[in-house]
Amino acid sequence: MTAEGDSVQELVPLLFVEDIDDSISFYTDRLGFEVKLKWEPEGKIMWCRLERDSVALMLQPACPDEDGTREERVKGVGFFFLCHDAQAMYEEFMTKGLNLEPPRVAFYGMNQLFLKDPDGYELCFQNQV
């Protein structure tokens, strides 16, 4: 057992993206996230924190010399969002212009809606059946 001061409070993934403006637009306009914090040196967004409900992500422009290629960055990376109803998320996202396959129930009992963001990061919105 840990003391209250030793407890972990939050995990917020940082996604390195090719075009931060395009990514922000995708997450806000299509997926319903809101920009909560941003860093804009010289008027250009170089980092931001996005939130929807109790979930947060950070975005930052990729530097190919340090962060690798797009394919290297996204390989093997997936984000699984637990939600109340993957079907409702599907319907919401479809009204916002995304063309998606409907959610399907996996053999382990999760109803899952898969999609990819502009950089190819795999996103799954899921609920237990």
Which residue from 121, 97, 101 is spatially nearest to 113, judged by alpha carbons? 101
Cα(51)–Cα(56) distance, integer angstroms:
4
Each residue's pLDDT expressed in tens, for the chain with a length of 129 residues:
556 678 899 999 999 999 999 999 999 999 999 999 999 999 999 999 999 999 999 999 999 889 999 999 999 999 999 999 999 999 999 999 999 999 999 999 999 999 999 999 999 999 999
- The token duo for 11 is 């995990």
Q: What pLDDT was estimated at residue 61?
A: 97
For domain 11-64+72-128, the CATH architecture is Roll (3.10)
User: Model pTM?
Assistant: 0.92
Spatial CB neighbours of 95, under 8 Å, sequence gap ≥ 6: none
How wide is the angle at C-alpha 49 spanned by C-alphas 45 and 50, nearest 5°? 110
Cα(7)–Cα(3) distance, integer angstroms:
7
Cα(11)–Cα(80) distance, integer angstroms:
13
Give the SS3 label for residue 105.
strand
Domain ranges in the chain? 11-64+72-128
